[in-house]
Amino acid sequence: MRSAIFGLIAAFASVLLAILLEEAHFLSFLKLSALVLIVGGTAGATFASYTPEEFANLIIHLRESLFPKREFSLSDVFLDFAEKARKNGLLSLEDQLAGVPDAFLRKGIQLIVDGTDPRAVEEILFEAAEGLENKETRSAKILETAGGFSPTIGIIGTVMGLVSVLENLGAGTRALGEGIATAFIATFYGIAFANLAYFPLANRLRTWAFSRDRRRQAIIRGIISLQTGDNRRILVERMAPFL
């Protein structure tokens, strides 16, 4: 979380510092009309590309990737489950379900407690993991789509500004220069938002989705190992490559 927030702050701060070092007038880069066009236009075009449910998932996934909860040790949990199952059988794990904070892990434990066929357990869990990964990577795709729209809408804003400049060619050299500079602010905003916010956050989501999927793969191996009655060493070995 700290690296993501620090990276975003550093990226925007470097742009602001560059403006100051160029001795440019800071207020020249603050154009409300261009900001409204870029933010509103990008949001509208992106909203038109996806469903409300996908945007709701995006908000949830962004929050979880930027402010992750402290993860519990899967190895410790499964070793505890293995010990209880060895002493009292798999049915005894049902008493532990209420204390399991991970919904995917609860699903797996419930399946083996219910006596589901091992092959069916494996298929159900792999399909569920794939579905969750698709949802998470879809959220990253939304941000990548916004990153694609943003510079293009910036060009639209620049063209609009240049049209206004050309209509007022007789206003004088100074006014002409200011008009052209204002026109290019929209392109600046479009490129900046894409490369300093949308794409970095999309990459962050993809990294987070990958780590979540690896954790789910470890859970699947642990569930299979529990159901087949593997000893503790084999259970840990099956899970280890994904942790």
Instruction: Please provide the DSSP assignment of 41-88 as one string.
Output: HHHHHHHTTS-HHHHHHHHHHHHHHHSPPPPP-HHHHHHHHHHHHHHH
pLDDT for 50: 96
Mean pLDDT of the chain: 87
The C-alpha atoms of residue 42 and residue 145 are separated, in whole angstroms, by 9
- For residue 243, the SS3 value is coil
Residue 1 has pLDDT above 60, yes or no: no
pLDDT for 190: 93
Least confident of 58-62, 167-171, 197-201: 167-171
Give pTM, 2 decimals: 0.83
The stretch 107-121 carries a mean pLDDT of 91
Highest-pLDDT range among 1-15, 70-84, 113-127: 113-127
Confidence of residue 22 (pLDDT cuts 50, 70, 90): low
What b-and-e string marks burial along 133-144, b requiring 16 or more CB atoms within 10 Å of the CB?
bebbbbbbbbbb
Highest-pLDDT range among 10-19, 49-58, 151-160, 166-175: 49-58
Number of other CB atoms surrounding residue 201 within 10 Å: 24
pLDDT for 165: 72
Residue 83 has pLDDT above 80, yes or no: yes
Torsion 234-238-241-243 (CA) sign: negative
The stretch 10-34 carries a mean pLDDT of 73
Among residues 205, 202, 189, 203, the alpha carbon closest in space to that of 12 is found at 189
70 or 164: which leads in pLDDT? 70
Confidence of residue 63 (pLDDT cuts 50, 70, 90): very high
Q: Identify the DSSP state of 172.
A: -
pLDDT for 29: 73
